[in-house]
Amino acid sequence: MYDFIQKFHSGWAYLALLLLVVAVANSTLGFLSKREFFAKDKKIALFALIVTHIQLTVGLVLYFLSPLGLSAFGDMKNAALRLTSLEHPLTNVIAIILITIGWSKHKKALEGKNKFKAIAIFYGLGLLLILSRIPWSLWF
């Protein structure tokens, strides 16, 4: 079961990153071009939100099923162990919170420009945080 969840978490990450990049690019282009906020723009942002929340949920399940899990906290001098047991989960929780704030702010905005701006900024910050704490050595 652990192996399946780990593979799912790794594979789903590609989809989450792709949708986040698409949502940030779409919102940035929409903001810069001053176009209207259409239903397709909302769907792109919503799909990115849903996929990242699924990724977080699977990651948290994986974290607590992991043979390392909480026992890795005893060896925080080991950079690889610290990344996977502390930095990666904590930073990604913060990133998902930022993405959720972006979604919430976009819903409250009345103008398309402000909707695009909220998504571009908060999803972009979330994406940067996620990219900064991916254990790249485990991906390749």
How confident is the model over 71-85, as a mean pLDDT?
73
What gap in Å lies between CA 20 and CA 122, rounded to an integer?
Answer: 11
Q: pLDDT tens, 10-63?
A: 999 999 999 999 999 999 999 999 999 999 999 999 999 999 999 999 999 998
**pTM confidence score:** 0.91
Q: pLDDT tens, 106-138?
A: 999 999 999 999 999 999 999 999 999 988 777
What gap in Å lies between CA 123 and CA 10, rounded to an integer?
Answer: 20
**Which among 43, 32, 20 has a CA at the least distance from the CA of 124?**
20
Q: What is the DSSP letter of 110?
A: -
